[in-house]
Structure 1
Amino acid sequence: MTQHKPAGHNAVSPYLLVKDVKAMLAFLSATFDVVEIYKMALPDGSIKHAEVKIDDSVVMLGERPDSRDPVVCSPHVYVPSADVCYGKALAAGATNISEPKDQPYGDRSAGIRDPEGNIWWIGTHLAKA
């Protein structure tokens, strides 16, 4: 039977269009401990396309042609510890949007802006008593 998506991919994956894929890969690795699954480099050393895994999800990356501004997005990622991930993101160059705090909808969450301008929402679902 033919599969309609590659093995290990979810049906929906964010595709970040950034100025510098190498720098974004370093940021994602430092923040989320990603696993790099694919990278297509061009002869000039730039990266045309890359794919990383954060937990069970694939994030795709590409560089904007002709140095155009990146397309800013706002992904949400569930992580084992919002506090730890938030600290790692700040150490990797992110800026604070919202410090980790317990939310009324049952998550502990935080928000950060990465060096490319994307806003990441980081959450850990809290067990109900």
Structure 2
Amino acid sequence: MYIPPGFNTVTPYFIVQDAERLIAFLVKGLGGTETLRSVRPDGGISNAQIRLGTSTVMVGESNKEYPPMASTYYFYVDDADAAVARALQHGGELVMEVGDKPYGDRQGGVRDPSGNIWWISQRMVEEPYTV
């Protein structure tokens, strides 16, 4: 099986209204890098690829055939406090204050301009999750 560089076995694909706004949030608010963009004949974004850390996500403009849909994502960062603050400065809405969790993460929650929730998490221990 061949997986292109920068992609994982599962790659999130956001279908949203105002793809440009979500791309701006991913780049400015979450520190991503846009690596590719394809535009439809009507000017809408058919596919944009954004690199977030070790992962690539895709973004496309919704239409009649593919309506917008929100989801939830777990996003590992080096500094949860700084990452949540940055996301809030660039259009995110706080859904959970940053704090230390019993499972070894320091984490906060942010809703992006398209309604997706990001659990922004800094792993505080170098061990797997346990029950």
Q: TM-score, normalised by structure 2?
A: 0.89
For residues 18 and 75 of structure 1, the distance between their equivalents in structure 2, rounded to whole angstroms, comes to: 15
Residue 38 of structure 1 aligns to a residue whose secondary structure is: strand
Which is further off, 67-76 or 100-109?
A: 67-76
Residue 127 of structure 1: how far off its partner (Å): 3.3
Q: Does 1:56 align with 2:54?
A: yes
The residue aligned with 1:72 is: 70
Gaps of 5+ in 1: none
Residue 112 of structure 1: how far off its partner (Å): 0.8
2:122 pairs, out of 90, 103, 124, with 124
Equivalent pair of 2:93/2:112 in contact (CA under 8 Å): yes
The residue aligned with 1:18 is: 16
Which is further off, 111-120 or 42-51?
A: 42-51
Which is further off, 91-100 or 67-76?
A: 67-76
- Deviation digits for residues 44-65 of structure 1 (CA, Å, limit 9, x no counterpart): 3321111111010011111111
Equivalent pair of 1:73/1:119 in contact (CA under 8 Å): yes
The residue aligned with 2:100 is: 102
The residue aligned with 2:90 is: 92
Aligned residue pairs, count: 126
Runs of 4+ in 1 over 3 A off after TM superposition: 66-69
Aligned residues: CA RMSD: 1.7
In structure 2, do the counterparts of structure 1 residues 103 and 23 end up closer, same or farther at CA, with 3 Å as the change threshold? same
Residue 36 of structure 1: how far off its partner (Å): 1.2
The residue aligned with 2:129 is: none
The one-letter amino acid of 1:109's match is Q
Gaps of 5+ in 2: 127-131
Residue 65 of structure 1 aligns to a residue whose secondary structure is: coil
